[in-house]
Amino acid sequence: MDKYFDEFTIEERGGKRGDSFCDCYPDLELEVKQFVFEECSKTEATFTAGTLAIFTGNHLYELNNLKKVDQRLVRSVESCKLELRRFGAKFTANSSRPYFLGHER
C-alpha cells in the first residue's frame, strides 16, 4: 500500500447492481480499510484474506451486540480477497521473509 490512507478510502464502485456488504455497514467498511492499511504497512508478512475475514466477523458481532456461537465466518475468504483487490492490493509471493534473510544459497 503505497498510497495515503485518504486515497485508499475513496469510493470507486461504479456500476453496482445491488447493495453490497459494505453498503449495509459503512462504519465497518472504514474500520476494515483502516485494519488492512495498518496490516499491510507492517514489515512482517502475516496478513492474509483469512485474517481479514476473521476481523470483519468479529467486528460485525461487536457492532450488532451478538454472541458468536460457532466458528463460521460471516464473509468468505474469497469475498475478502475480492474486497482486497478492490482496495488495490496485489497478491505477490513474499520472498524476503525473515527466514530467507541470510540463508540464500
Domain assignment present for residue 44? The answer is yes
87 backbone dihedrals φ, ψ, rounded to 5°: -70, -15
Is 49 in contact with 81 (CB distance < 8 Å)?
yes
Rounded Cα–Cα distance for residues 4 and 81 (Å):
21
Domain assignment present for residue 1? The answer is no
Domain assignment present for residue 31? The answer is yes
Regarding predicted confidence, which is higher, 82 or 92?
82
Residue 55 pLDDT exceeds 70: yes
Is 60 in contact with 28 (CB distance < 8 Å)?
yes
DSSP 8-state secondary structure symbol assigned to residue 102 = T
Residue 12 pLDDT exceeds 70: no
Give CA torsion, residues 61, 64, 69, 73, to 10 deg.
-40
pTM recorded for the entire structure:
0.62
Q: What is the pLDDT of residue 105?
A: 53
Domain that includes residue 58, residue range: 21-105
Q: What is the pLDDT of residue 100?
A: 46
Domain count, the chain: 1
Per-residue pLDDT, averaged over 47-61, amounts to 88
